[in-house]
Amino acid sequence: MALIVQKYGGSSVADAEAIKRVAQRIVAQKKAGYDVVVVVSAMGDSTDELLDLAEQVTPLPPGRELDMLLTSGERISMALVAMAIGSLGYEARSFTGSQAGVITTAAHGNAKIIDVTPGRIQEAVDEGAIAIVAGFQGVSEDSKDITTLGRGGSDTTAVALAAALNADACEIYSDVDGVFTADPRIVPSARRIPKVSYEEMLEMAASGSKILHLRCVEYARRYGIPLHVRSSFSQKPGTWVVSEVEESEGMEQPIISGVAHDRSEAKITVVGVPDQVGVAAKIFSSLAESEINVDMIVQNVSAASTARTDISFTLPAADGQNALTALKKVQDDIGFESLRYDDQIGKVSLIGAGMRSYPGVTSRLFDAIAAAGINIEMISTSEIRISVVVEQDAIDGAVAAAHTAFELDSDQVEAVVYGGTGR
Amino acid sequence: MALIVQKYGGSSVADAEAIKRVAQRIVAQKKAGYDVVVVVSAMGDSTDELLDLAEQVTPLPPGRELDMLLTSGERISMALVAMAIGSLGYEARSFTGSQAGVITTAAHGNAKIIDVTPGRIQEAVDEGAIAIVAGFQGVSEDSKDITTLGRGGSDTTAVALAAALNADACEIYSDVDGVFTADPRIVPSARRIPKVSYEEMLEMAASGSKILHLRCVEYARRYGIPLHVRSSFSQKPGTWVVSEVEESEGMEQPIISGVAHDRSEAKITVVGVPDQVGVAAKIFSSLAESEINVDMIVQNVSAASTARTDISFTLPAADGQNALTALKKVQDDIGFESLRYDDQIGKVSLIGAGMRSYPGVTSRLFDAIAAAGINIEMISTSEIRISVVVEQDAIDGAVAAAHTAFELDSDQVEAVVYGGTGR
């Protein structure tokens, strides 16, 4: 029998009514002849409420205890979903991350999944029950402590379970209708993308699309699990994320899948860096030691007269202060002149597997952005993505210009789409 | 090093402020040179809030899922208590019932503890940490499902852990100052009892005193764990419950320890029962099959002319309807005439190990109640207890009359005492 793993985000289980609606959807899948395993997030804002409680008790809660606290949120939602299914006459059994065999590293708050041993889940499914699993949580391999998986954790739980159970597909439900060619709040004519490759989805996630977390897509690609991103508030199909879009469909596919944007980055420029071998390595290894992930890097041509250059890079704005501190520590050693920090920037990315075989995509993008009167500060490219950094105020304009230039605009506005997904 | 197990009820951890206060008390014990293991209930009304959520989802939640839901309450409070201790510079580690090795039967909602294997708790204590354990919960031996222990569950967890860890004492904290000679809301001159035997405490618990649950006291007696019942809102000593009150103290002890009352019972009278061998057995086995616990039983002398008798018994009023249904089913078989039901009754009990060696206690009690103009409907006695059933409206008067008759009144009102304890 075909097995489907479904994941419901916090907004889909926000209250008793939402939970009953989700239960009906789950039962409908079961009635249609599928085995069903469900992964749930905590209800609505309950995680924030727990964090607030912790903050009232101490400004710096220990990670182990914070994980113990936060994981109660999924325990509540999963038990309620199981009850709601029970009241529809179907058997459901809920399982904590630990019971579901989600084995992780001991990094509290950001644990990585090491292994999934879903014996109890498989047993429940074999006995005809619907298994409900707490997302976002696991148990550490050595210390047997409760852990949480960090951002995107529930999606990752769902995909990891789908892989371990050899599921036929993994459905990711939230309050958005799928992956769009751009954020519909910026581009009202944005269209839902019916099908996209793992590669493109990875680039989108890395470029600021919040629909799916990078880890979840990487996991799905590694194990070849088809993902279906859709809304729990409608019956409409969403977006399929699959290994590759078939030839026949490829004919219909536009060159570009979508335009993503990211407002969360900042730019640091290291001014007056001696133009010598190994200096750039010193800069970025000092950042790596502070566990700061750098995104785009640009090094200007050095001015021959001074034998000095400027190196600019982007990073999550949240890490800005740490990065500046780390760099100041090595200033004397490296001998650069000064640091400039700018968090009023944004990144706009064009993503599409089709750009591989179409030359001229880059120039078309630059032309469109220039025509909109927007200055490009930095550029970086991959085989299937072009990203530009612009002033924060110019993000919306750049997204719209790119969307139109690549003929992504729909004839009509397709749907009302809500805010980002939960964890 | 001496080991103390402390248990804090829901009112003691009701909010962030209360949790910080409890943390200070725990740390003070640790600073005083004790190893400390703490058992906590869920915060304030949070269990009721979870029950309310369950009710919104389904009128009849499955026991397994209800237990999964409710146990999240202790997970929240224990993590917060551990954090609060951490912020005071001491290490605390929280453990679920399952992690603490509380192995139970699979009776969801009312599981019994089969064994306690507190390896992880002992390890934490040996490493100098304070262990915080979720009360009220365990894991079933066979199915490894999460269970709850039912009423009085957190107290029972504390005593069971104290026994398994060979603790020197178990402190039960709530919002009451200890065990009193009567409910101070009825008898303002009631006094705190400094020391009481397990036997007397058992009789009190069985007679309606809500300070400690019967199961918890039974467990403490079986393993000889001294209990200290006290308030988390003051530093005053409370009531010690111990195996026996020593001779020297015994001299000072009054004949009677206290007066308990119970408003939760109802009385059923089976009218016109054939006065034959085995009829009473049929009545009570039909009740036992419906899992109804009968308390007091009185059988009147049969009227010789009819060879029929009346049998009256008391039971929890909550079981009243079930009992009537069970009895009606066997009416034809047994041949009784009718059933009478009265839930406007109450039980008043006089408890004291001292009554063993003092004759005349019974008559002194009856005289006092009669002098207060109160009619006694039923009587039952044990070696250290006399209970009478009176009209519900007469309970307060009977308690006060008994309290005064046995010289339990204090010269002054000792303390403001709050409502009953949580689970």
Q: Does B147 touch chain A (CB under 8 A)?
A: no
DSSP calls for A162-206: HHHTT-SEEEEEESS-S-BSS-TTT-TT--B-SEEEHHHHHHHHH
Is residue B328 predicted with pLDDT exceeding 70? yes
What ipTM was predicted for this assembly? 0.80
Is residue B418 predicted with pLDDT exceeding 60? no
Does the beta-carbon distance from A87 to B50 stay under 8 Å?
A: no
What 3-state class would DSSP assign to A294?
coil
Contacts of B293 (CB under 8 A, 6+ apart): B315, B316, B319
pLDDT per position as a tens digit, B5-52: 999 999 999 999 999 999 999 999 999 999 999 999 999 999 999 999
What 3-state class would DSSP assign to A320?
helix
More confident residue, B375 or B303: B375
C-alpha closest to that of A79 among A123, A23, A34, A25: A23
Is residue A304 predicted with pLDDT exceeding 80? no
Q: What angle do CA B318, B324, B329 make, to 5 degrees?
A: 140
DSSP calls for A204-261: HHHTT--SS-HHHHHHHHHHTPPEEEEETT-----EEEES---HHHHHHS-S--EEEE
The residues pairing with A308 across neighbouring beta strands, listed in sequence order, are A274, A303
Of B56, B66, B83, the CB nearest to A16: B56
Please provide the distance, in angstroms rounded to a whole number, between the alpha carbons at the two ends of chain B.
30
pLDDT at A381: 85
pLDDT at B331: 94
pLDDT per position as a tens digit, A25-70: 999 999 999 999 999 999 999 999 999 999 999 999 999 999 999 9
| pTM score, whole prediction | 0.83
Is A131:A124 a contact under the CB 8 Å cutoff?
yes
pLDDT at B306: 72
Q: What angle do CA B96, A79, A119 make, to 5 degrees?
A: 75
Q: How far is CA B213 from CA A221, A295, B73, B150, B210, in A?
A: 56, 61, 20, 11, 7
**Interface test mutation site (partner B, options A72, A85, A130, max chain B beta carbons within 10 A):** A72
Confidence label for B407 from pLDDT (cuts 50, 70 and 90)? confident
Q: Kindly list the residues from chain B whose CB atom is less than 8 angstroms away from the CB atom of residue A53.
A: 16, 76, 80
CA–CA dist A201, A212 (Å, integer): 8
CA–CA dist B124, A143 (Å, integer): 12
CA–CA dist A360, B31 (Å, integer): 73
Is B1:B168 a contact under the CB 8 Å cutoff?
no
Amino acid at residue number B359: P
More confident residue, B246 or A45: A45
Is residue A130 predicted with pLDDT exceeding 70? yes
CB contact residues (below 8 A), chain A span 2-41, against chain B: 15-16, 19-20
**Residues, chain A:** 423
Is residue A250 predicted with pLDDT exceeding 70? no
DSSP state of B303: B
CA–CA dist A130, B10 (Å, integer): 34
| A173 membership: H or E segment, kind and range | strand A169-174
Does the beta-carbon distance from A54 to B80 stay under 8 Å?
A: yes
Confidence label for B415 from pLDDT (cuts 50, 70 and 90)? very low
pLDDT per position as a tens digit, B272-310: 998 888 888 889 999 988 888 888 888 876 666 677 888
CATH class of this structure's domain B272-338: alpha beta
Please provide the distance, in angstroms rounded to a whole number, between the alpha carbons at the two ends of chain A.
30
Is residue B413 predicted with pLDDT exceeding 80? no
Mean pLDDT of all residues in chain A? Answer: 90
State whether the Cα torsion A275-A281-A284-A287 is positive or negative.
negative
Neighbour order of strands in the sheet with A113-116: A113-116, A102-104, A137-140, A146-148
| B391 membership: H or E segment, kind and range | strand B385-391
pLDDT at B302: 63
Q: Does A72 touch chain B (CB under 8 A)?
A: yes
Of the given ranges (A336-350, B130-144, B247-261), which has the lowest mean pLDDT? B247-261
Q: Does B72 touch chain A (CB under 8 A)?
A: yes
Neighbour order of strands in the sheet with B378-382: B258-262, B345-351, B385-391, B378-382
pLDDT at B304: 64
Is A348:A259 a contact under the CB 8 Å cutoff?
yes
CA–CA dist A132, A162 (Å, integer): 13
Mean pLDDT of all residues in chain B? Answer: 90
Does the beta-carbon distance from B87 to A58 stay under 8 Å?
A: yes
Exposure string over B295-305, b if 16+ CB within 10 A, otherwise e? bbebeeeeeee
pLDDT at A421: 38
Of B60, B64, B80, the CB nearest to A57: B80
Domain locations in chain B as residue ranges: 3-175, 272-338
CA–CA dist A75, A96 (Å, integer): 7
Of A60, A62, A94, the CB nearest to B65: A94
pLDDT at B417: 40
Residue B173 tokens, joined: 């904290």
DSSP calls for A331-356: HHHHT--EEEEE-SEEEEEEE-GGGG
Is residue A413 predicted with pLDDT exceeding 50? no
Q: Does A375 touch chain B (CB under 8 A)?
A: no
Q: Kindly list the residues from chain B whose CB atom is less than 8 angstroms away from the CB atom of residue A15.
A: 56
Distance from CA of B6 to the nearest CA of A (A): 19
Is residue B145 predicted with pLDDT exceeding 50? yes
State whether the Cα torsion A166-A168-A173-A176 is positive or negative.
positive
CATH 3.40.50.720 for domain A248-417:
no
Is residue B87 predicted with pLDDT exceeding 80? yes
**Residues, chain B:** 423
Q: Kindly list the residues from chain B whose CB atom is less than 8 angstroms away from the CB atom of residue A59.
A: 87
pLDDT at A418: 38
C-alpha closest to that of A65 among B125, B170, B423, B130: B130
The residues pairing with B271 across neighbouring beta strands, listed in sequence order, are B338
pLDDT at A144: 93
CA–CA dist B257, B263 (Å, integer): 20
State the burial class of residue B293 (Cβ atoms within 10 Å of its Cβ: 0-12, 13-18, 19+): exposed
User: For the residues A394-398, what does the mean pLDDT come to?
Assistant: 96
DSSP state of B328: H
pLDDT at A416: 40
Is residue B85 predicted with pLDDT exceeding 50? yes
Is A214:A152 a contact under the CB 8 Å cutoff?
yes
Residue with tokens 């968090």: A343
Provide CATH code, domain B3-175.
3.40.1160.10
C-alpha closest to that of A202 among A173, A144, A242: A242
Q: Does B121 touch chain A (CB under 8 A)?
A: no
Residue with tokens 């990065």: A323
Confidence label for A303 from pLDDT (cuts 50, 70 and 90)? low
Q: Kindly list the residues from chain A whose CB atom is less than 8 angstroms away from the CB atom of residue B129.
A: none
pLDDT at B1: 79
Is B166:B4 a contact under the CB 8 Å cutoff?
no
pLDDT at B280: 85
User: For the residues A290-311, what does the mean pLDDT come to?
Assistant: 80
Distance from CA of A57 to the nearest CA of B (A): 6
Does the beta-carbon distance from A53 to B78 stay under 8 Å?
A: no
pLDDT per position as a tens digit, A237-249: 999 999 976 644 5
Helix%, strand%, coil% for chain A, nearest 5: 35, 25, 40
Is residue B247 predicted with pLDDT exceeding 60? no
User: For the residues A244-268, what does the mean pLDDT come to?
Assistant: 76
Does the beta-carbon distance from B84 to A53 stay under 8 Å?
A: no
Of the given ranges (A74-83, A205-214, A320-329, B408-417), which has the lowest mean pLDDT? B408-417
pLDDT at B239: 96
DSSP state of A328: H
User: For the residues A141-160, what does the mean pLDDT come to?
Assistant: 93
What 3-state class would DSSP assign to B290?
coil
pLDDT at A337: 93
Indicate if B272-338 has the same CATH topology as B3-175: no
CA–CA dist B344, B323 (Å, integer): 17
Phi then psi dihedrals of residue B364, to 5 deg: -65, -40
Is residue A414 predicted with pLDDT exceeding 50? no
Confidence label for A253 from pLDDT (cuts 50, 70 and 90)? low
C-alpha closest to that of A423 among A5, A7, A41: A41
pLDDT at A419: 37
Give the CA-trace dihedral at B162, B166, B169, B170, to 10 degrees.
Answer: 0
pLDDT per position as a tens digit, B148-168: 998 789 999 999 999 999 999
Q: Kindly list the residues from chain A whose CB atom is less than 8 angstroms away from the CB atom of residue B60.
A: 87
Amino acid at residue number A186: I
Contacts of A159 (CB under 8 A, 6+ apart): A5, A170, A216, A219, A220, A223, A225, A227
Distance from CA of B75 to the nearest CA of A (A): 6
The residues pairing with B174 across neighbouring beta strands, listed in sequence order, are B231
Distance from CA of A54 to the nearest CA of B (A): 6
Is residue A386 predicted with pLDDT exceeding 60? yes
The residues pairing with A309 across neighbouring beta strands, listed in sequence order, are A273
Q: Residue B155 CB: number of other CB atoms within 10 A?
A: 32
The residues pairing with B104 across neighbouring beta strands, listed in sequence order, are B113, B140
Does the beta-carbon distance from B83 to A144 stay under 8 Å?
A: no
Is residue B396 predicted with pLDDT exceeding 50? yes
Is B41:B174 a contact under the CB 8 Å cutoff?
no
pLDDT per position as a tens digit, A336-362: 999 999 999 999 999 998 887 777 888
What 3-state class would DSSP assign to A159?
helix
Around B178, how many Cα atoms within 13 Å sit in the side-chain half-sphere?
22
Is A392:A344 a contact under the CB 8 Å cutoff?
yes
pLDDT at A380: 86
DSSP calls for B275-287: --TTHHHHHHHHH
Is B73:B48 a contact under the CB 8 Å cutoff?
no
pLDDT at A48: 93
The CB-based long-range contact list for B357-364 (8 Å cut-off, 24+ gap) reads: B358/B255, B361/B255, B361/B256, B361/B386, B362/B386, B364/B405, B364/B406
pLDDT per position as a tens digit, A92-112: 999 999 999 999 999 999 999
**Interface test mutation site (partner A, options B21, B75, B144, max chain A beta carbons within 10 A):** B75
CA–CA dist B229, A377 (Å, integer): 70
Q: Residue A80 CB: number of other CB atoms within 10 A?
A: 33
